[in-house]
Amino acid sequence: MSMLMAVCAGLTLLPIGGAIDVSMLGYRTLCSFAPASTILLSYVAFSIHRYLKHSRQF
């Protein structure tokens, strides 16, 4: 699950020619909220990873 979120975070930065809106970075990306969406998805991936790693210790 955390790997899927990490991959999705990376995908938000990909340039897409057919995108409607320009992102905060100044070019057309898969997600027009990049880099905010990248940071949020990276945080969620890290949080899930830490939770799953901690829950396996018990």
Q: How far apart are CA 58 and CA 45, in angstroms?
A: 21
**39: containing domain:** 2-55
Query: Residue 55, CB half-sphere, CA atoms under 13 Å: how many?
Result: 6
The tens digit of pLDDT for each residue in 14-53 reads 999 888 889 999 999 988 899 999 999 999 999 999 999 9
Q: How many domains does the chain have?
A: 1
Which residues, at least 6 apart from 8, have a Cβ–Cβ distance to it below 8 Å? 41
User: The whole model's pTM is what?
Assistant: 0.80
- In sequence order, what DSSP letters do the residues of 22-37 get, joined into one string? --TTSS-BSSTTTTHH
Q: What is the structure's pLDDT at 56? A: 81
